[in-house]
Amino acid sequence: MRLVKPSFKILEIMELYGSYGVGSDVLRAIERAGRVCYKSEKEITEASCYPFIQKLLRLNHESVLEHSAMTVKFVCDRGVSHELVRHRLASYSQESTRYCNYKNHITFVIPPWVNIDEGEYESAPHLSKADINWFLAMKQAAETYTLLLTHYHWSPQQARSVLPNSLKTEIVMTANLREWRHVLKLRTAKAAHPQMRELMIPLLKELKGRIPIIFDDIEEEE
């Protein structure tokens, strides 16, 4: 049984005329599209995209941001993925418990309130009573799942019924930048689930470094 922490990886940031993953190119693509609304294409300069997009955001003219999109791969537990796919203005590809067979290697995601390190485990390390109970529940689920597959010859889609929300899943999400703004505002808020915040707050910080302006006004709540 393997225990891991959640993680993410930005796979691609797309602009209108290609995919480069360079923040300034994304802004220029958005500007090229947005200036059509005002027929001000002649005002485009090397740096004009910055004030133009700042103005769009001040005016809540965010539909122009839909001309660029981003793809992110998340490693999280099934509970978090169930919340993530509720954002319908996006496309998803997710690891399937119907077709993936975990009998030789099952992985669970460590919640932020469980004090245990990543790694391979056969027995419970020295933990608090609550953490031990979580660990033992994962161990029991893994053993039962394997038993149903190997001894009773259940298929993966049948045996998955004993797997908990803490099961590791990988999910790829693609959405336009306007939708990512909505997702990040909602999922970094204080009221968001702690495991969702554990993923989304670092993602927001990385995006602020990679794409100027677009996400600068979003502040995670303490």
DSSP state letters, 67-85: GSEEEEEEEEEHHHHHHHT
pLDDT for position 163: 98
Q: Is residue 13 part of a domain?
A: no
Q: Is residue 186 part of a domain?
A: no
Separation of CA 34 from chain center: 28
Each residue's pLDDT tens digit, 44-73: 999 999 999 999 999 999 999 999 999 999
Q: Is residue 90 part of a domain?
A: yes
pLDDT band at 17 (very low <50, low <70, confident <90, very high): very low
Q: Is residue 12 part of a domain?
A: no
When pLDDT is averaged across residues 7-33 and rounded to a whole number, the result is 77
pLDDT for position 23: 61
pLDDT averaged over the chain? 93
Q: Is residue 132 part of a domain?
A: yes
CATH of the domain at 162: 3.30.1360.170
pLDDT for position 12: 92
Domain count, the chain: 1
- Phi/psi region, residue 163 (left: phi>0; alpha: psi -120 to 50; beta: rest), is beta
Active-site residues, by number, are 187
Of 139, 114, 117, nearest to 129 by C-alpha is: 114
Separation of CA 90 from chain center: 12
Judge whether residue 21 has pLDDT over 90. no
Q: Is residue 50 part of a domain?
A: no
**DSSP line for 171-206:** EEEEEEHHHHHHHHHHHTSTTS-HHHHHHHHHHHHH
The range of the structural domain enclosing residue 156 comes to: 2-6+75-169
Cα 197 to Cα 195: distance, rounded to the nearest angstrom: 5
Cα 74 to Cα 64: distance, rounded to the nearest angstrom: 26
Cα 185 to Cα 191: distance, rounded to the nearest angstrom: 11
When pLDDT is averaged across residues 27-51 and rounded to a whole number, the result is 93
Each residue's pLDDT tens digit, 90-110: 999 999 999 999 998 999 999
Q: Is residue 91 part of a domain?
A: yes
Q: Is residue 104 part of a domain?
A: yes
Judge whether residue 18 has pLDDT over 60. no
Judge whether residue 142 has pLDDT over 90. yes
